[in-house]
């Protein structure tokens, strides 16, 4: 079984009631609802970080050139032709 950490979250009463109602409608516990919401947010953050990294690579076209790789592949493919 995976090891889990329990901790306390503090929600405004109205906010908690909304979370509890949506969780109940979906047949999920509040814990499962919060875990899913946090997982979605973490995935968004990962995607944003990856996008930012690729954007940085694309900003310097001289350093991010892949022409050498295309030339090497072309030479390897045409070697026996």
- Beta-carbon contacts of residue 22 (< 8 Å; ≥ 6 apart): 33
Tell me the chain's radius of gyration from C-alpha atoms: 24
Phi, psi of 4 (to 5 degrees): -125, 155
* Predicted structure pTM score: 0.62
Q: What is the pLDDT of residues 4-49, one digit of tens each?
A: 999 999 999 999 999 999 999 999 999 999 999 999 999 999 999 8
CA dihedral 62, 64, 69, 70 (to 10 degrees): -70
Domain regions of the chain by residue span? 13-78
Q: Is the pLDDT higher at 40 or at 53?
A: 40
């Amino acid at each position: 079984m995976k090891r889990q950490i329990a901790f306390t979250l503090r929600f405004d009463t109205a906010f908690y009631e909304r979370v509890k109602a949506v969780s109940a409608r979906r047949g999920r516990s509040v814990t499962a609802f919060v875990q899913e919401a946090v997982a979605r947010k973490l995935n968004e953050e990962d995607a944003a970080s990856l996008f930012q990294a690729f954007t940085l690579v694309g900003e310097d076209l001289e350093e991010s050139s892949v022409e050498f790789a295309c030339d090497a592949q072309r030479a390897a493919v045409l070697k026996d032709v």
